[in-house]
Amino acid sequence: MSIITCPECGKDVSSLAMMCPSCGYPISQIIGTDNSQNPKLTNTVNNSVPNASSISALVERAIAYYNSEDYKGAFPLFQQAAELGSANAAFYAGIMYHYGNGTEIDYKKAFEYYLKAIERSLDNDVLYNNIGVLYLTGQGTKTDYSKAEYYLKKAKELGCQKAEENLAELESRRKKDPAERFKRKHNIPDKCPSCGSIEGWVNLGHSREGYSIYKAALPTLIVGPIGLLAGALGHHSLTYRCNNCGYEKVYDIDFL
């Protein structure tokens, strides 16, 4: 794989691309042909299997575009490199979706690319801060203060000053959030007690054993409104399971 120049629009594109992401020119039709007479294609390498050095070269070219603020040129190259397995490219693609550089803002795609970078073991303070903010605000994913805290603390440990401000905002939101106060009241942990996974520890939902609102009518006749409330509430629980190790635990809860 190498970087070639699209004969149609002049933009850089991976030789592995089926078509130019900028103009749609069918790149795949010219790969494998004799390009010696076409000066625009003299850097083409007819190799269908990408290697680490070729992917690295693609990322370096994309970063050069990015640093020169040519976001339209950088964006498709980062996407291509990310699909080929580059953690750094996934991080940059996430940033570009997050802030609308070279593409439309799309928090869901930003979140997905950030996760790819993390899964590929990229250790970066800005990466941790940004995904922490998405968990904090609920943009692109479900709001999760536990995961927000986890990633923002990692960002702070790596020297991200913005992470400290975001942690303060997190604490402020937690104090105002009834659900967070509820978790702490019932000692529900933020991570799996068995393996320590943050991402895998999920709430499967609420269950109740006891009277329905209709069956609560009898206690009402006996002890008044309090009987109605007690009969309607019954016994409640929340079930958490870890998708990482399979650990599961039921937490008894109350609403009084």
Q: Are 27 and 45 in contact (CB under 8 A)?
A: no
User: H helices within the chain, ranges in order?
Assistant: 52-67, 71-83, 87-99, 107-119, 125-137, 145-157, 161-176, 178-185, 217-223, 225-233
The predicted structure's pLDDT at residue 1:
52
Q: Give the up-direction half-sphere exposure of residue 135: CA atoms within 13 A in the CB hemisphere.
A: 25
Per-residue pLDDT averaged across 34-48, rounded? 40
Residue with tokens 């800005």: 126
The predicted structure's pLDDT at residue 178:
83
**Total-model pTM:** 0.64
Residue 4, phi then psi, degrees to nearest 5: -125, 170
Paired tokens of 125: 């303070």
The predicted structure's pLDDT at residue 202:
87
Q: Are 138 and 107 in contact (CB under 8 A)?
A: no
Q: Transcribe 114-151 into DSSP letters.
A: HHHHHHTT---HHHHHHHHHHHHHTSSS---HHHHHHH
Paired tokens of 187: 């000692």
Name 242's bridge partners.
201
pLDDT in tens, 172-194: 999 888 877 888 788 888 889 99
Domains of the chain plus CATH, in order, are 189-253 (2.20.25)
The predicted structure's pLDDT at residue 17:
64
Q: Are 148 and 133 in contact (CB under 8 A)?
A: yes
**Strands (DSSP E) along 210-247, which ranges?**
235-242
Q: Maximum CA pair distance of the chain?
A: 96
Confidence of residue 42 (pLDDT cuts 50, 70, 90): very low
